[in-house]
Amino acid sequence: MDLDNQTRLERIKSMPIDGQALKKLIEAGLLWLKVNQQTVNVLNVFPVPDGDTGTNMVLTMQSAWAEIANLGYRNIGQMAAAVSQGALMGARGNSGVILSQLWRGFSRALHNKETLDGESLVHAFADARDTAYKGVVRPVEGTILTVAKDVATAAEAALKETQDPLEILALVVPAADASVEHTPELLPVLKQAGVVDAGGKGLYFILEGMLRYIYGQPLDVALATVQPISAMYLENSKESIEPGQDYEIVVDFVPTNPLDLPKFYEELESMGTSIQVGEGEGLYRMHIHVPTDNRYRPIDFAMTLGTVTKVAIENLIAQMDEIDRKSAGDRIELANIEPGQIAVVTVSPGRGISRVFASLGVAAIVEGGQTMNPSTQEILNAFENLPTDKVIILPNNKNIILAAQAARDVTVKKVQIVPSRTIPQGLAAMMHLNPEGDVEAVAARMTRALDEVTTGEITVATRSVEIDGVAVEKDQVIALLNGSLVLSAASVEQACLGLLEKANAAGHELITLFYGEDLAATEANRIVDLIRAAYPSQEIELQYGGQPHYQLIISVE
């Protein structure tokens, strides 16, 4: 610790760590996590468009911050309880739900506490660990859970050296960093992919942000990092348009000289927000959101650095208005539920898929799926005002199941979770809906139906990697069978036919394909004609799904 940090730490140590101090630490953790959001997002095991762990954790922390932003509690127990409530309702994805459980345990340990001391902090870290582990049916080591466990262990060890909570935090942060770096040794799939655990990294950034605030270090300056262009996930940057984010600018350029990354970021930060920088084979891609007056500045800046090869400018406000207009004019008729009937709530990634679910009798649809996981609050809002207390939720994505369970746990209604992990599973479950039946019995039948269907997914690899013996090059078409990577191919049609062979489609009766927003209807029909020729004895159906990221979602049953 340098002299400046030591001096500031001594000054802060003289003040009580009460509710208002915790509030500042929460804000600091959120700000630092948000700055490093894309660093967390790119820590993706499979080369699929699923870089949302950082986004989910940021949105969960933003909900926690929104809950406490205007609170004047001095009692740290009251403030911690509010943090826990905000995180729970805003939790998105598995990482966000586990993060909310960490805050839940943390707050329990501080119940009725006026201020924080060293022993209380150690107990809080321990209760956070225990609550998070209990909230997961099958805890997996090498994840955010392991990092939380190592944080608690480090805090207990630190208590033997000091009773000061801030000094304990200063010892815990490097332990969290070391724990994150060790995750590939505990989870082989991380080592195969050459990454550390994303959720654990996010937790580390939250704790590091708190320590940076204590030391007076900046929280709004991104680390000068460059990610692969294929891993930038620019879709995530459009999830919410903040004030002043009028235009999205993307510039590809080849620099004349090596980039001075810190100065490069500093210049971009003077122009706008949502900054991302990617690199591939000497080409750099710069992404930024800027106010109207600055819409040409990033382009002019890039031209001073080298040769600009491509520029894209989008009016974000107009784009969001157009999306809202289309949604308003494209209504989907949902089931009209009577009191006492079973209402099914489903998560859907596309308008076409939503229409199919509606035709099967769902009562509410929550928009979401890959890279856009809905929050606990959004799922809760979908059924709280329905005129029945019998509810079944179909998450249709493995990363939404925990949020659905969290929504179930905060309502007085009789909610059953049918743990569908894919869209075909959700549709298969809907075939067993009986609105007049016993909700537990119906949910059990729907759950058994999940095994009656095989799911295939066709997308494009976001990076080069080898997993489970399948070598994938960036931008290749890849196929997933029931969530496992099974092959790579040069085209969508090759991947599709190869997937169907591995799924033993010849031994089944029905093949249904849902084509996404990135695949033209004419191309989808051409591929279906090839499938019909290869499988003349099977019934083949093609429907518009409208899902992002995945050219095709395939059901084999």
- pLDDT value at 329 more than 80: no
Q: How many angstroms separate the CA atoms of 366 and 377, rounded?
A: 11
Instruction: Write out the CATH class of domain 330-452.
Output: alpha beta
Q: Is 28 helix (H, G, I), strand (E, B) or coil?
A: helix
Instruction: Record the pTM.
Output: 0.80
Place of tokens 């609050």: 377
Give the mean pLDDT of 204-218. 93
pLDDT at 254 over 70: yes
Average pLDDT over residues 106-119: 95
CATH topology of domain 454-556: Hypothetical Protein Tm841; Chain: A;domain 3 (3.30.1180)
The three-state secondary structure class of 289 is: strand
Tokens matching residue 109: 């340990």
Strand-pair category, 342-348 with 390-394 = parallel
Which pLDDT tens digit goes with each residue over 528-539?
999 999 999 999
How many angstroms separate the Cα of 116 from the Cα of each of 24, 77, 105?
14, 9, 15
228 or 313, higher pLDDT? 313
CATH class for the region spanning 227-323? alpha beta
Tally the C-alpha atoms within 13 A of residue 401's C-alpha that lie toward its C-beta. 14
pLDDT in tens, 400-457: 999 999 999 999 999 999 999 999 999 999 999 999 999 999 999 999 999 999 999 9
**pLDDT, mean of residues 7-24:** 79
Tokens linked to 366: 């929550």
Pick the closest to residue 224 from 274, 173, 273, 275 (CA basis): 275
- Determine the Cα–Cα distance for residues 185 and 538; give it in Å rounded to an integer: 45
Q: What is the DSSP string of 40-62?
A: HHT--SSSSS---HHHHHHHHHH
Cα separation, 508 vs 511, whole angstroms: 8
Q: Is the pLDDT confidence value at 238 over 60?
A: no
Residue 223: pLDDT over 60: no
Number of Cβ atoms within 10 Å of the Cβ of 224: 14
Residue 240: pLDDT band by 50, 70, 90 thresholds?
very low
Residue 320: is its pLDDT beyond 80?
no
Residue indicated by tokens 């659905």: 404
Model pLDDT for residues 455-507, shown as the tens digit of each residue: 999 999 887 888 888 888 888 999 999 999 999 999 999 999 999 999 999 99
| CB of 51 closer than 8 Å to CB of 42 | yes
pLDDT tens, residue by residue, 381-402: 999 999 999 999 999 999 999 9
Q: Does domain 3-215 have CATH number 1.25.40.340?
A: yes
Q: Where are the domains of the chain?
A: 3-215, 227-323, 330-452, 454-556
Q: What pLDDT, on a 0 to 100 scale, did the predictor assign at position 113?
A: 95
Among 470, 460, 457, 499, residue whose Cα is nearest residue 193: 470
- Dihedral (C-alpha) 95, 169, 140, 36: value to the nearest 10 degrees? 40
DSSP string, 480-544: EETTEEEEEESSHHHHHHHHHHHTTGGGSSEEEEEE-TTS-HHHHHHHHHHHHHH-TTSEEEEEE
Q: In whole numbers, what is the pLDDT of the chain averaged over residues?
A: 89
